[in-house]
Amino acid sequence: MKEGFKKYQYKELEDSAILQNSITYRNNLENRRSIRFFSDKPVDKQVIENIIMSASSAPSGANKQPWTFCAISNPEFKAKIRKAAEIEEYENYHGRMGEEWLRDLEKFDTDWHKPFLETAPWLIVVFKSAYDVDSEGVKHKNYYVNESVGIACGFLISAIHQVGLVTLTHTPSPMNFLHEILGRPENERAYLLLPVGHPSDDAEVPILEKKTSDQVIKYFE
Ligand SMILES: Cc1cc2nc3c(=O)[nH]c(=O)nc-3n(C[C@H](O)[C@H](O)[C@H](O)COP(=O)(O)O)c2cc1C
């Protein structure tokens, strides 16, 4: 064994089990939806830690893990974030998004009001780090930062769904206010804002069509 390496522990499965797993996994993920109506039912901090650490196990360019997850349950922080997000979203819905974008959003029946930012028991704000700074103040490069953080967010959204909770991938842009409210360092930029919790009893989701396998897969066999 090369120094710095260890044997990968691979659990070999029968083909039939792999097929069954793929069906189960697909069915489960196809039930995920973005939720915009939350109940205030609490979620254990350990659950939040587990889903974030699941996300943080994601692959990243040169294993730099260029992400920070702020997990917020403090009502004062949530209120500040809602207020600042609604200021940006008001501008977005009143001119900044443009006609085509607003038309594309009609089916979601969304507007600049974001009450879920206070109702949901937790907000997770994902920050990406363009570079890292060590204890001596020296800057170190990160690689494929957008791809890496996007993959980690995919892991996060999947984990939230797998454990039985719901979320919304939210981008009240520009999101610089999150950097300020949460006092993050210069090298970090807000990437996504995810309310996490249980849906309200009357939560509705728009009926959306997902692309078919023919549309998204091109086989070369
Ligand atoms: C990068 C990204 C940004 C998004 N931003 C918002 C947002 O700011 N507000 C919102 O209500 N939904 C937002 N969404 C949610 C999408 O509208 C939603 O994922 C899409 O309509 C598909 O619905 P589904 O997630 O229920 O399958 C965003 C999704 C992504 C991937």
pLDDT digits (tens, 9 = 90+) for 183-220: 999 999 999 999 999 999 999 999 999 999 999 999 99
pLDDT digits (tens, 9 = 90+) for 58-99: 999 999 999 999 999 999 999 999 999 999 999 999 999 999
pLDDT digits (tens, 9 = 90+) for 133-173: 999 999 999 999 999 999 999 999 999 999 999 999 999 99
12 belongs to a structural domain: no
State in Å: Cα 80 to ligand 1 middle: 22
206 belongs to a structural domain: no
Structural domain count, the chain: 1
Q: Is 169 in the pocket of ligand 1 (CB under 6 A)?
A: yes
Nearest 10 degrees: Cα torsion 196, 201, 202, 206? 40
State in Å: Cα 170 to ligand 1 middle: 6
Q: Measure Cα distances from 188 to 128, 183, 195, 206 in Å.
A: 5, 10, 20, 34
Q: Whose CA is nearest to atom 9 of ligand 1?
A: 170
Residues 6+ apart with CB under 8 A from 205: 33, 34, 35
90 belongs to a structural domain: no
State in Å: Cα 14 to ligand 1 middle: 37
Of the pLDDT bands very low, low, confident and very high (cuts 50, 70, 90), residue 27 is very high
126 belongs to a structural domain: yes
Model pTM?
A: 0.97
204 belongs to a structural domain: no
Q: Which among 83, 80, 96, 68 has a CA at the least distance from the CA of 190?
A: 68
| Ligand 1 nearest-atom number relative to CA 172 | 8
State in Å: Cα 47 to ligand 1 middle: 23
Domain extent, residue 124, equals 50-82+116-199
pLDDT of residue 99: 95
CATH assignment at residue 156:
3.40.109.10
Q: Is 110 in the pocket of ligand 1 (CB under 6 A)?
A: yes
pLDDT of residue 30: 98
194 belongs to a structural domain: yes
Q: How many CB atoms lie within 10 A of CB 158?
A: 17
- Give SS3 for 193: strand
17 belongs to a structural domain: no
- For range 44-65, the mean pLDDT: 98
94 belongs to a structural domain: no
* Burial (0-12, 13-18, 19+ Cβ within 10 Å), 172: buried
Strand positions, DSSP E, the chain: 67-72, 122-129, 131-133, 139-141, 166-167, 188-197
Which of 31, 37, 170 most suits a substitution to test ligand 1, by most atoms within 8 Å of the C-beta? Answer: 170
pLDDT of residue 24: 98
